[in-house]
Amino acid sequence: MKKAKVTKVVPFIKDGKQVADEYGNFTFTVTFDNNDCGYYTTKSQTAEPFVVDQEAEYEIEEKEGKKGKYFKVKRPQQNKGGWGGKSAYIPKPPEQIKQETRLNARSMLMRYAVDLWIADKITPEEIGSTFDLLTNIYDASITDITLG
């Protein structure tokens, strides 16, 4: 990740106006005070967070195109919160993973108990107690698993 002051932001203009490409993206040429320069693509008609005379964090990547080499400017990846209020992936704590796994397993365990009834291995009255037995076995086994 790099950090520099933005010195110039120029939108791509076609037929005298700024237009989006076929995917709805707008492209800008962004120049920094350390002489880095590259293309920045966004869904917005502004190049935020790249504002002239403001310092910005960015990543720059060399690409190969039909007309030769060029540079692509990107906002750095964020672990939380993202840019512009967009959420990003936040890892779940181990206890939450265990709890969600237990809850998701309940429907599967009930299905197993019903399958035993369908196979004539238990009576309809035994479905509940079989489900409870399977749930207890499952909960005991997942408690011993170390996550994180």
CA-CA distance, 26 to 17, in Å (whole number)? 11
The mean pLDDT values, 10 residues at a time, for the chain of 148 residues are 93 89 91 94 88 92 90 77 59 78 85 94 95 88 64
Per-residue model confidence (pLDDT) at position 114: 94
Residues paired with residue 80 on neighbouring β-strands, in sequence order: none
Buried (b) or exposed (e) across 110-119, using 16+ Cβ within 10 A?
Answer: beebeebeee
Per-residue model confidence (pLDDT) at position 80: 47
Per-residue model confidence (pLDDT) at position 118: 95
